[in-house]
């Protein structure tokens, strides 16, 4: 898979990104790095005391209407970086004390990312994505990624279509998560840090509890205890421009109900405080 006749993500635009043709993501064949930083707001078992060495890529293959990183995901934004430049950025973050290398929204630059990871790094590599992936494309990363950190945003196709223009989201994300688990196996800890495995993030959306319950049902039915962890997020922050109920944060009743369902499904993982729904936690791009 490459950038010619691009079919790296489920949209399969077929654009020749080596020329002027740009697909859904709007990006060419050179990764755009919008920001690098020590990111202290990832799950504690990832960030540790040093923080995750986050590399935020510009552009996205989803374009969620409520995206908190819209400043960089909504359009191609960032400094062009080939695999050698990416590798140098990774080492610079490690030199600053990063607990891992956290690749944020890398899907549409997957071939270059895979080349940058050819030689093993001394810290875990985290593939942090929206979940809208192709399982066969992810195979380019086998042996190169230690921790997969995908979203599982939707089980409801109509909701996925309305908010992310991806009615096929659930089928694609479910297959992708299975492939991720196949590659890295069950979660492995080293002290209080995760060094290998899959952590599935689910962001509860206001007024969409039923969608969340279906997501958790799928995870509970398809993965054994300890095979994955779930990060149940309540950080939805209204970014403006969306109608009710998406113009508000998640209520305590909504979060508590979904959290109870998570435990009823025998799932373990991470929870999030109400205070997380605040723009102060959005990186300054």
- pLDDT at res. 281: 46
| β-strand partners of 104 | 56, 128
Class at the top of the CATH hierarchy for domain 32-281? alpha beta
- pLDDT at res. 70: 85
- pLDDT at res. 282: 54
pLDDT digits (tens, 9 = 90+) for 47-103: 999 999 999 999 999 999 999 888 888 878 999 999 999 999 999 999 999 999 999
3-state secondary structure the chain: CCCCCCCCCCCCCCCCCCCCCCCCCCCCCCCEEEEEEEECCCCHHHHCCCCEEEEEECCCCCCCCCCCCHHHHCCCCCEECCHHHHHHHHHHHHHCCCCCEEEECCHHHHHHHHHHCCCCCCCCEEEEECCCCCHHHHHHHCCCCCEEEEECCCCCHHHHHHHHCCCCHHHHHHHHHHHHHHHHCCCEEECCEEEEEEEEEEECCCCCHHHHHHHHHHHHHHCCECCEEEEEECCCCCCCCCCCCCCCCCCHHHHHHHHHHHHHCCCCEECCCHHHCCHHHCCCC
Question: What are the average pLDDT values for consecutive 10-residue runs of the chain, which has 285 residues?
Answer: 94 93 91 96 93 96 92 88 98 98 97 97 98 97 98 98 98 98 97 97 98 98 95 93 95 97 96 65 52
- pLDDT at res. 69: 87
- pLDDT at res. 285: 45
Task: Give the pTM.
Answer: 0.95
- pLDDT at res. 104: 97
CB 262 within 8 A of CB 271: no
């Amino acid at each position: 898979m490459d950038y010619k006749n691009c079919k790296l993500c489920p949209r399969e635009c077929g654009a020749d990104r080596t020329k002027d043709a740009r697909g859904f993501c709007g990006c060419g064949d050179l990764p755009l790095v919008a920001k690098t930083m020590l990111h202290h707001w990832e799950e504690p078992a990832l960030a540790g005391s040093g923080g995750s060495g986050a590399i935020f890529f510009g552009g996205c293959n989803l374009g969620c209407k409520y995206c908190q990183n819209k400043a960089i995901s909504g359009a191609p934004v960032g400094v062009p970086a080939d695999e050698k430049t990416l590798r140098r950025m990774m080492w610079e973050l490690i030199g600053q004390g990063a607990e891992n290398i956290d690749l944020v929204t890398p899907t549409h630059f997957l071939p270059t990312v895979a080349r940058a990871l050819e030689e093993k790094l001394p810290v875990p590599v985290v593939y942090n994505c929206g979940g809208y992936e192709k399982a066969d494309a992810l195979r380019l990363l086998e042996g190169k990624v230690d921790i997969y950190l995908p979203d599982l945003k939707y089980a409801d196709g109509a909701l996925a279509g309305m908010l992310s223009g991806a009615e096929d989201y659930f089928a694609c994300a479910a297959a992708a998560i299975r492939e991720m688990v196949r590659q890295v196996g069950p979660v492995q800890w080293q002290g209080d840090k995760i060094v290998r495995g899959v952590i599935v993030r689910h962001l509860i959306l206001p007024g969409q509890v039923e969608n969340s319950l279906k997501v958790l049902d799928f995870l509970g039915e398809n993965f054994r205890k300890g095979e994955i962890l779930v990060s149940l997020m309540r950080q939805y922050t209204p970014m403006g421009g969306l109608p009710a109920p998406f113009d508000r944060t998640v209520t305590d009743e909504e979060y508590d109900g979904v959290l109870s369902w998570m435990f009823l499904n025998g799932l373990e993982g991470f929870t999030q405080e109400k205070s997380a729904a605040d723009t102060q936690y959005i990186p300054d791009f």
